[in-house]
Structure 1
Amino acid sequence: MITSPTWIVRYVADTRRLPIDAQDAWLSAAEEAELAFFAHEDRRRQWLRARWIAKRLIALSSDSTDLRRVEILSRSTSGLGVAPQVFVDGKPTQYRISLSHTGSAVLVGMTTDATSIGVDLAWDVPQDRHFSSAWFSEREQAWLAERPGSASLLWGLKEAIFKSQGDSQTWNPRGVEIESYGEHEVRCSLFGRRLAPLSTWIRTSSRGTATAVWQAKTQDAPVTVRQEFSSCL
């Protein structure tokens, strides 16, 4: 059992070889109902792989190998998507989960102490001026002009920040403005409200950028950060 706060970022580049059991062996009835929202088979596979990795991380941190003890729900009673809520043995927990997937890649962010976290896989983001002018601020467009090919980084940061810090707002890329960023920190505003600095985890590839964002570490809340990159679990 984890006794101190832990933050994990796990990126699995190729999930096709994961030893995932039949879904009825590890999904709850409520999770099966959420899966039923997706009709496209590729989308269902991506959802299942991301959920399996996330449930496995939570189960292991709870000293268990039974994935059915863990339930991750991300639909409201009206069927709308909401931030994932984590239950263990039917009880709500402080775990926070963020998921992103595209193709065969999955990115999972997890915290054990209710710290908000957001992750995004920004793959194949358009780099043209029309896309930039539609979704990036003037300051962000100036950065893109100086750093050709970096649209995926800014887009990934925007998505991850919104997942981490957004509340009930509707997703709008222009609602998140990046003020400055580095390898380990980003400063930004959300719908005109300046946020406290956020910690970041960023990895780039030929396809785009894998990004995680979470609330910055404070002196009174020591945290063990595990950042993991793997081709397969």
Structure 2
Amino acid sequence: MPVPANGRIERFAQFDELRSACELCGSAWLSVAEKRELDLLRDGSRREAWLCGRWLSKHLIREACVLPATKLELIEILSRDAEGRGMRPAVTVSGEPISASLSISHSTHAVLVGVTTQPGISIGVDLTIPETVKPGFLRMWFTEAEQERLKSADSRLAMTYWAIKEAVYKACQNGESFAPRKIEVFDSVEGRFGCYYRGTDLRDVGDIQEREFDGHIAVVATMLEAVAVDRRQTNDLHRTEFCETC
């Protein structure tokens, strides 16, 4: 079921739920440019994940933007620029950009999509399956402070931290590459997660929510779009830590 909250909708689905619908419609629901993106994927599992993600995303866009009569092929979602590089999903309807932010994440057999129509808000989602985390993974991708907090925690919390890093990056990035050690996660006093993104304290400019869907860790991050270009400084303690660990 969709989860509407303040102009935001999220939806989780297993590939098995979407596969038959996608197959019945062939490729008629894809635009020419979308078919070109799909053709870049040679691996069958990646193609299936891409198709399921696009199918669910188009239905969610149609729902969020109140476009019930719009044909799916007129809703275009592109995630590569003219040079073929990955980018934030760009959505157009009948060739015109729409004021909505979209994020898609896959696991090996499921997809999570988030969309918001709130002006000035960007969304990022991540979906992962809890698994054993090796010490080398923590040392490579987590700050010293995060490693200390996770020292006696179970692998689920470590994977939750990782999913938060992914979702926050998707919501905040402005063309920069993914640098996990520049995204620091912490537990706030209210029992919710907080985060620093490249030295910016996100507590006052965004929201991070974590939940579980069918054994998956799902994270949804919503941020003011301005945070991507107007990075406010953190306090001296965290500013020093970021300089030392980046």
Instruction: Place the TM-score, normalised by the shorter chain, in its bin.
Output: 0.7 to 0.9
Aligned to 1:200: 208
2:220 corresponding residue in structure 1: 212
Higher relative contact order (CA closer than 8 Å, sequence separation 6+): 1
- Using structure 1 for the length normalisation, give the TM-score: 0.83
Pairing partner for 1:57 from 49, 57, 60: 60
- Aligned residue for 1:102? 107
| Paired residues of 1:184 and 1:199 also in contact (CA < 8 A) | no
For the Cα contact (< 8 Å) 2:125–2:218, is it kept in 1?
Answer: yes
Alignment root-mean-square deviation, CA: 2.3
Structure 2 residue 93 is the aligned partner of structure 1 residue 93:
no
Instruction: Return the structure number with greater strand share.
Output: 1
Q: Which residue of 1 aligns with 2:242?
A: none
**Structure 1, unaligned stretches of length 5 or more?**
217-233
**1:167-186 pair list within 5 angstroms:** 167-181=174-188, 185-186=192-193
The answer for the alignment partner of 1:8 in structure 2 is 9
Contact 1:5 1:112 in 2 (8 A): no
Whether contact under 8 Å (1:99, 1:107) holds in the other structure is: yes
Partners of 1:54 and 1:151 in 2: how far apart? 28
| Partner secondary structure for residue 194 of structure 2 | strand
| C-alpha separation in 2, matches of 1:195 and 1:133 | 24
- The counterpart of 1:160, out of the listed 156, 167, 171, is 167
Distance 1:126 1:152 in 2: 9
Post-superposition shift, 1:137?
A: 1.0
TM-score of the pair, normalised by structure 2: 0.78
Q: Secondary structure at the match of 2:103?
A: strand
Contact 2:210 2:217 in 1 (8 A): yes
1:71 is matched with 76
How many residue pairs end up in the alignment?
Answer: 212
Distance (whole Å) between structure 2 residues aligned to residue 122 and residue 147 of structure 1: 18
Flag the 1:205–1:96 CA change in 2: closer, same or farther, 3 A. closer
Q: In structure 1, what is the Cα distance between the partners aligned to 2:136 and 2:202?
A: 28
Moved over 6 A (4+): none
Q: Which one has a larger percent helix, Structure 1 or Structure 2?
A: 2
Match of 1:16, SS? helix
Partner residue of 2:153?
Answer: 147
Map 1:122-137; keep pairs closer than 5 Å.
Answer: 122-137=128-143
| Most deviating of 151-160 and 119-128 | 119-128
Q: 1:10 to 1:181 in 2, by over 3 A?
A: farther
Alignment partners' CA distance in 1, 2:125 and 2:58: 16
Code of the aligned partner of 1:179: F
Over the matched positions of the two proteins, sequence identity in percent amounts to 34
Distance 1:182 1:82, change over 3 A: farther
